[in-house]
Structure 1
């Protein structure tokens, strides 16, 4: 994982979050209402706004994805955010303690990401497993912090509970920018069994890297669906280099096919 940083936290803080571990291990995800609020949340939102206005215009196409090139309001994803503020954000509390409570050992964090579905987004997020992209053993976890009210109308995450216990499924190429691979043997029955994660700003959902999840289109005309994400892995995790090379090549081919500058 790029820019991994050792995380330090207190035993008491980890103990506080172990109550979520059973649900996480059973379902492959857990929702924590009101996890990050108040002044700390407002500071994060302000720093994200700064990054969007000041840093994104300087980034290559492969680091910031727009649904329409030349349309700033259509920004839909920022990958591997490189910035002094965000470089250290992932080792802050309470995120680290929660990650260690769920994973059961010391963790490291990768560079953060930002997701958005602007109003009227016609592209659903395909069903996928994060670790098909990340390629770590053991599998990492993703923390997804809602920045806006999120529901079924503007494209909330939807989980298929328990799928983290079945390992990685076959994936195939998609035409969805930022999600170059989607599950290839997805069924209508599985789609119907997904559970929506409706959230308010500051609510957090955490999912296992092998948990299948997706998101629908944003059918609203005036509501964004923004979220800030952190990926944690155990300090002992090892990358499957062959799988990582294959995924990187596929993503590059997708970007080139869409006319993006990847150099």
Structure 2
């Protein structure tokens, strides 16, 4: 697995590794001052914007306990984060890996708080995105040190070459669909992503991945992510409608405010 630093990253080598195994690591992706600014802007967003958001944009395990904030979606409605989707470093890496011009979807933020008992189910992002061809990737920046104790990502190397697997409903907030036939042959190919704060992992939209519970008592596992779509990728309208309807039904069943079913 390629593991490059920001200063010596070779986009061509990374692109080869990405095509081969479906995931890469870039150590210390951003300059220190830019990384710090990003963290400060996330803190601002949580303090000033999140209290006004519907439950479908900011997922809490318990809305009355701010420390249980689990996921934020659609952050691009904020001017700072909308502009950030065009950050040259992110855009250039995405284009190099996809082999074509690419644009970012709205940023997201993920948290697995200390003591989180549930795992993130194995899934493929493009099951949610419904893009054909699957010229799409997710860039996931660690905001905290990440290891096997606090719920690191685990990739099934090479799984992006086999297409989409069967998914079904889960009860995990923020991950409405998970692979239904995940088995030992998958776990044997897993690679754990051990990261420092500031390290970036990138995975193909059809690379299978999951994460364990956060078994620590005092270490959150927070990350900032952006999805980049190549210019050749187009959304399958029927698959997208079906996905949205299924997600809305699950959100309504979970009692999330703002959930609608068509």
Q: TM (normalized to structure 1)?
A: 0.92
C-alpha distance in 2 between matches for 1:229 and 1:208: 13
C-alpha distance in 2 between matches for 1:130 and 1:99: 16
1:67 is displaced (CA, Å) by 1.4
SS at match of 1:98: helix
1:191 is displaced (CA, Å) by 2.3
1:68 is displaced (CA, Å) by 1.7
1:262 is displaced (CA, Å) by 2.1
C-alpha distance in 2 between matches for 1:38 and 1:75: 26
Match of 2:6 in 1: none
1:129 is displaced (CA, Å) by 0.1
Q: Deviations over 1:84-124 (max 9, x none)?
A: 00001121121111001101111111100000000000111
| Count of aligned pairs | 250
Matches within 5 A, 1:160-199: 160-199=156-195
1:189 is displaced (CA, Å) by 3.2
Matches within 5 A, 1:1-263: 16-81=10-75, 82-139=77-134, 140-263=136-259
C-alpha distance in 1 between matches for 2:229 and 2:47: 30
C-alpha distance in 2 between matches for 1:192 and 1:53: 42
List 4+ stretches of structure 1 deviating above 2 A. Answer: none
Q: 1:26 and 1:127, CA in 2 relative to 1: closer, same or farther beyond 3 A? A: same
**Any stretches of 5+ residues in structure 2 without a counterpart?**
1-8
- Greater shift, 75-84 or 210-219, is seen at 75-84
Q: TM (normalized to structure 2)?
A: 0.93
1:16 is displaced (CA, Å) by 4.5
SS at match of 2:49: helix
Maintained 8 Å contact 1:107/1:232: yes
Maintained 8 Å contact 1:129/1:213: yes
- Cα RMSD (Å): 1.3
SS at match of 1:43: helix
